Amino acid sequence: MTEVLRAVSDALAATVEMAGSGVVRVEARRRLPASGIVWSPDGTIVTAHHVVERDENIAVGLPDGQTVSATLVGRDPTTDLAVLRAEISNLTPPAWVEPDSLRVGHLVLALGRPGQSVQATLGIVSALGESWRTPAGGRVDRYLQTDLVMYPGFSGGPLVDAAGAVLGLNTSALLRGISLTVPTPTLHQVVETLLTHGHVRRGYLGVSAQAVRLPKTLVEELGQETGLLLVSVEPDGPADQGGLLLGDTLVALDGQPVRHLDDLLALLSSDRVSASVPVRIVRGGLLQEVKVTVGEHD
């Protein structure tokens, strides 16, 4: 039994050492530094948005003890992600893996480097779910919750599987009191967008809306029980320019049903910005269709 425990202990230490070579310290706020993950050898670092409290005078502490200057490439508050570029090359990115094979109960490690050396904590996957939308409106490909203790400065660091591959980025800011991980697929999408555009493009219509039940005849015709009642329309906004009116009920956008506000937010993706899309509405009890050019959220 002792030999088994020693072997497991040695394996965990080797995993931390291997994955830790891709974990850096991020100095971008007054209090304790946070952590980041090497994205590519050219100095690109991904970290948590909420730990980057300033846009200038950012420093990154490397595994070899060096501290180098870094600049902010871009950030996405809705998924709590930020991208930095450190003034160095030949960094060692970790191996990345998608969390498709994860099951509740699997052992995982959280790594951080708020100080000079890498730190680690062990736990299990406590909950898994489908894609979800954060309170700020960002889409995350998978709900991934662990029971890991997020020590101060661990936000922005990686969640690592038993083989040492990175499953995603840990954050304590998406949902209060819950340790969540932004999974690898979401990271790839957001990071590549930030590297290309400096921000994540998000569409908007310029409306406020609330879900309402549809009349029985429309429920049978549309195959959906609810739509979105427009309770305000921004003057000269995309919806206003497209002819949408206060009191219209939006039931579909670009051919996709809209039952709740989350449906609309999901459909206002970056690929629809500046596109003219058909919007199906109920006005005066009758179905109508108008064309609206999706705007870009500031």
Q: Which residues are catalytic?
A: 50, 80, 155
29 close to 51: Cβ distance less than 8 angstroms = yes
Output the six-digit token pair for 152.
Answer: 């101060």
Inter-residue contact 261 to 209 (CB < 8 Å):
yes
Residue whose tokens read 């970056």: 270
Report the SS3 class of residue 3: helix
How many whole angstroms separate alpha carbon 1 and alpha carbon 40? 41
What type of residue is 168? G
Q: Which residues contact 124 (CB under 8 A, 6 or more apart)?
A: 104, 105, 106, 107, 108, 146, 147
With H, G, I as helix, E, B as strand and everything else as coil, classify residue 208: strand
In order, the DSSP letters of 7-45 are: HHHHHHHHHHHHHHTTEEEEE-SSSS-EEEEEEETTTEE
In whole angstroms, give the CA distance from residue 201 to residue 192.
Answer: 12
For 286-290, which contacts have Cβ atoms below 8 Å and span 24 or more sequence positions?
287/218, 287/221, 287/251, 290/242, 290/243, 290/244
What is the token pair recorded at 208? Answer: 């406020």
